[in-house]
A and B are shown apart, each in its own frame.
Chain A
Amino acid sequence: MSEIKKIIKGCLAGNRRDQELLYRRHAAKLYAVCLQYSGNDDEARDILQEGFIKIFENLDHYKHEGSFEGWIRRITVNTALEKFRSRHNLYRVDDIDMIQEPDAEPDNQDYAGLEANDLLGIIRELPTKYRMVFNLYAIEGYSHKEISKMVNISEGTSKSNLSRARVILQRRVGSYTGIKKRVANE
């Protein structure tokens, strides 16, 4: 029996040490996902916590047929989506439309010098809906059809949000790399 199987078995048996071991192994990676989907750290912590509770509750549904890491990531993303859907009413629909759309810049930029933490910071500054659509499409690989069902928007809105998110990201990345280069030259 593989190590992960033993840990899962221990978790299902109520072994707190195995549960903590499972958490310690995957929490850092999943917390990064939570930060990616949330607008603030408190929300990210909540998503991680709720996500792990669901993981423990549904461990017996894991069939050992696919990547365990992929399975727990999907649960975490779904938890983030549930959070988004539950708080969706808190965001005014026109908040997004009121955001001034930056002009698209030619994509001949040099992205060198950007590290993961920089990218995370940039992505978290996106408006919530843009962030959701961009994460689901560009990072997770869902189609617009799937995203429309997950976020409860139309496919057209999904495409539009993605397009706007890309434009914002390109501009931010561009300005960020410029700052970095200047800092490096100084």
Chain B
Amino acid sequence: MNEKGANIDLVFRNGLKDFEVLPPPEVWDGIRPFVKIRPRPFIFLRVAAVITVLLTVSFFTYRWSRELSTGPAGSVFAFNMEASSPVISQPDNNPQNLPTIKYNQIKNSPDVLTDVVDPTTTLPEIETIAIPEEVIYIQETKSLSITKNETLRGPFLTSLNTSQGNSIKIKEPDLQYFPENITTKPKNRWSIAALASPTYYSSFNSGSDGLSKQLMESEQPLFSYSGGVAFSYKISKRFSIQSGLYYSALGQKVEGINSFSGFKPYDNTKGVDNFKVLTINGTIHTSNPDVFLIADGSDRILTDFTNDVIDPKKASLQPINSSLNQNFSYLELPVVLRYKIVDKTIGINLIGGLSYNLLVNNLVYTTLDGNRYPIGDTKGLKPLSLSSSLGMGMEYNLSSKLSLNLEPTFRYYLNPFSVTTGSYIHPYSFGIFSGLSYKF
């Protein structure tokens, strides 16, 4: 039976080999024009996305660690009165034992087709494609089907071994089961994004007292930035929820505060809180025993070492700068809801949500020849604050998985950083976040 079965198999296999029947014209009419919106997956873009994420994380980790290392516990400049020139002090718990280095040293530091095609054949115009004669013939002989039992025409199979002059093959090696890989895979709802932005930082004053206004007038925003990694989960076609971890550095410059160095010999209180400077974000407390501060025409400095007690010029204190810089760094845990308004190649999202901000770095410094000169820190800051954010996100799909994001975002801090001055100062920031988003 096996041999007989094999024979009948061969009859059909060889008889139907290269058999052609011209399909009715309406079949082609029913095939819609096909447009592949996206190209093949970009392995290079995937790699680029991973690199971008790693670089972003590394960058912010580095910045964070750097800022921490240059905090009040880090190296500080100091002036040695005996040497009559500024010297650098290494961290030391005992301010009395600070080693010194010459000022000049510090100043100078700093990405077998086997289809048989006749190569001589030129592609005809679609409109003029000739229907092969063989195909027309077969269609004409279709009436010879056994069910209709009509006249017979055309070449017959003469024998088993010589049919169509082709050798018999039991199996065609390239005919393998092509299983379910045609079907589309279920979509993964998760995506990861790396975003960063320079931000403009300022504050709203909800109070009306004169001191707050005076303070705000003398405070200017410093270069601020924010960035991090966000994970988002697509709840529905249009809604998605996003969270992640961001690092943001905010800052402002307090004008009108003159700083001098070399005050340590006059300090009898071991350098703790010699000067307190009122700002809209809290009170600056000095921790550097060698610094002397004096306000330029205002009474925002609280100290026992007033101008009446010590005159910096007479005491030969070395002027450093006429402003102080306040830096606040936050680790942010946002919970953001996104609503996709436009879902095309360029998508537009409406973004809104809340963010918990954990204060991780708080530094006040001034600058001397481009170098940071630590002053102290800002007291009265709330370690945890809550901010709201509202933005409009634009998303350009580079591929089905990778997209370029641009998100102008306004952030408003719901609770003030502090209430030092009696007025409620609500900081806000505006940034245009840009980055890459990768959909899994």
Contacts and interface: CB of A to CB of B under 8 A. Distances in A.
Interface in A147-186: 149-150, 162-163, 166, 169-170, 172-173, 176, 179-180, 183
Nearest to B118: A3
A132 interface: no
Interface string B1-18: 101110111011101101
B113 A114 contact: no
B28 A20 contact: yes
Contacts of A53: 31-32, 34
Closest 9 interchain pairs by CB?
A: A121-B145, A107-B4, A141-B171, A74-B178, A138-B9, A28-B20, A56-B34, A68-B115, A31-B23
Contact of B33 (A16, A35, A111, A112): A16
B170 to A, nearest CB: 7
A27 B154 contact: no
A69 B364 CA distance: 73
A28 B139 CA distance: 10
- The B interface, classified by DSSP as helix, strand, loop or mixed, is loop
Interface string A101-123: 00010110001111111111111
Of the listed residues A74, A75, A111, the one surrounded by the most CB atoms of chain B closer than 10 A to its CB is A111
B11 A119 contact: yes
B135 interface: yes
Interface residues of B, number: 71
Interface string B130-165: 001001001001101111010010111111100000
Contacts of A163: 1, 5
A144 interface: no
Interface of A: 2-5, 7, 11-14, 16-17, 19-21, 23-24, 27-29, 31-32, 35-36, 45, 48-49, 52-54, 56-61, 64-71, 73-75, 77-78, 104, 106-107, 111-123, 125, 134, 137-142, 146, 149-150, 162-163, 166, 169-170, 172-173, 176, 179-180, 183
A53 B1 CA distance: 41
A112 B340 CA distance: 68
A68 B141 CA distance: 29
B150 to A, nearest CB: 10
Interface stretch (B35-43, B89-97, B191-199, B222-230): B35-43
5 contacts: A60-B39, A68-B115, A111-B157, A119-B15, A150-B179
A176 B149 CA distance: 9
Contacts of B170: 141
B11 to A, nearest CB: 5
B33 to A, nearest CB: 5
Contact of A14 (B35, B156, B160, B177): B35
B83 interface: no
B174 A36 contact: no
Contacts of B141: 115, 117
Contacts of A11: 34
B135 to A, nearest CB: 5
Contact of B146 (A3, A64, A125): A125
A120 B145 contact: yes
A111 B121 CA distance: 36
Contacts of B21: 28, 31-32, 35, 120
B411 to A, nearest CB: 42
B12 A73 contact: no
Given A21-B126, A117-B138, A166-B5, A45 B24 contact: yes
A33 to B, nearest CB: 9
